[in-house]
Amino acid sequence: MSSYLSHNRRKRFQRGVAAFDIFGNRSRGFNGVDDYIDLGDSDDFSFGDGSNDSPFSVSAWIKMEDASQFRILTKFNISSTEQEWQFSFGSDNKLYFSLYGDNGASRLTRGTSMTFNSLEGQWVHVTATYDGSSSSSGIKIYKTEQDGLTVRVDASTFNIGSYTSMHNTSASAIIGRLGDWTGGTSYADGNIADVRLYDAELSSLDISNLYNGTNITTDLIGHWLIDSDDVIDHAGTNDGTNFGSVYSTDSPS
């Protein structure tokens, strides 16, 4: 844990405010080979109907042993037309947030201006938000630095086709893996904690508060990998099925 975060938690405790009481003290480890958590398909994970999009946000703590193609949370099956959205790293060590429409033929994507390989072995808090505008300008990616400053790090746009809206597919939402590739699946190599899904666009202040230990529950529709040794959805009913990930005391707290 960063010295800043330790100091901030002590200050909160001294003020009588519990911080990280149910999250941030544990994580799950992923081996980069075949570990993942399948959350299943749910309308809670779908934010488009082919005509209109709704705002949503994805947030997590990550500690990457290898930033290349580190997978955070996706609803995407490249082996078919079941492509909806993904929050993950590319082989260039940059973080991307992508939305898919027209059975994968159109796409909105924004990527980070920075590579993350220099942050391998460190806990980093990352968030992607979307305002529902059907434009790549509505996508924002944030990284919260060790001094607690939340900064936008997105810059590049990689759109394909004429995007209208995400389709509501039957693909599972998955932590730590990118869909069901038919030839060469890619997995997270490292640790993931405090995975959150909101049906609203988080502000930079919201994200800073999450980093600092505030448990923001407004518009929270999915919450996984808190401090208990399970893959239960602690905000809704979309419990996961674990495939290999291991409960770990390594944590951002």
Provide the pLDDT for residue 14.
31
The pLDDT, as a whole number, for residue 175 is 97
Give the domain CATH number at 85: 2.60.120.200
pLDDT, residue 192, reads 98
Give the residues across from 187 on adjacent strands.
177
Distance CA(96)–CA(169), nearest Å, equals: 20
Look up the domain containing 19 and give its range: 3-246
Task: Supply the pLDDT for residue 53.
Answer: 96
Minimal CA–CA distance to 157: which of 94, 204, 207, 102? 94
DSSP 8-state symbol, 28: E
pTM over 0.85: yes
Residue 251 lies in a domain: no
Domain for residue 99, yes or no?
yes
State residue 52 phi and psi, 5-degree precision: -140, 150
Residue 48 lies in a domain: yes
With H, G, I as helix, E, B as strand and everything else as coil, classify residue 207. Answer: helix
Contact 174, 36 (CB under 8 A): yes
Instruction: Tell me, yes or no, whether 253 lies in a domain.
Output: no
Query: Residue 142 is encoded by which pair of tokens?
Result: 């944030």
Q: Give tens-digit pLDDT for 107-119.
A: 999 999 999 999 9
Q: Residue 119 corresponds to which tokens in the numbers above?
A: 């942050």
In a domain, 196, yes or no: yes
Main-chain dihedrals φ then ψ at residue 107, nearest 5 degrees: -155, 140
Contact (Cβ atoms closer than 8 angstroms) between residue 31 and residue 244: yes
Number of CB atoms found within 10 A of residue 210's CB: 23
Note down pLDDT in tens along the chain; length 253 residues.
443 344 343 333 232 333 455 678 899 999 999 999 999 999 999 999 989 999 999 999 999 999 998 999 999 887 667 889 999 999 999 999 999 997 778 999 999 999 999 999 999 999 999 999 999 999 999 998 666 788 999 998 999 999 999 989 888 999 999 865 444 578 999 999 999 999 999 999 999 999 998 999 999 999 999 999 999 999 999 999 999 999 999 998 8
d(CA 215, CA 84): 27
Q: What pLDDT, on the 0 to 100 scale, is given for residue 179?
A: 62
Quickly list DSSP for 65-82: S--TT-EEEEEEETTTTE
Q: Which of 166, 85, 86, 153 is nearest to 124 (CA)?
A: 153
CA–CA separation, 167 vs 78, rounded Å? 14
Domain count, the chain: 1
Q: Quickly count: other Cβ atoms within 10 Å of residue 240's Cβ.
A: 23
Look up residue 148 and give its amino acid: G
pLDDT, position 12 = 34
In a domain, 25, yes or no: yes
